[in-house]
């Protein structure tokens, strides 16, 4: 099973970006997506941005992941 995480782009240099997932910074290759800029949300998988998504989609996905984590912590 593969899992991608919503991440917000915080900086871009060439075809590489720093992205934030819950405040943790990761590096992401941007070779697979077009027209992204700082502040955009992407799906991060295996070190690559694989799709641009809306802020709403990112928030909904992060909420679902939080609920799943909370239910496992009980």
pLDDT tens string 39-49: 999 999 999 99
Output the CATH code of domain 5-72: 2.30.30.140
pLDDT tens string 16-58: 999 999 899 999 999 999 999 999 999 999 999 999 999 999 9
Tokens of 59: 């928030």
Q: Where are the chain's structural domains?
A: 5-72
The alpha helices in 9-72, defined as continuous H runs, are: 55-72
């Amino acid at each position: 099973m593969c899992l991608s995480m919503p991440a917000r782009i915080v900086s871009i240099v060439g075809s590489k970006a720093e992205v934030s997932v819950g405040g943790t910074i990761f590096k992401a290759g941007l070779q697979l997506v077009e027209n992204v800029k700082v502040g955009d949300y992407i799906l991060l998988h295996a070190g690559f941005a694989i799709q641009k998504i809306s802020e709403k989609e990112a928030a909904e996905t992060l909420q679902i992941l939080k609920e799943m984590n909370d239910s496992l912590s009980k």
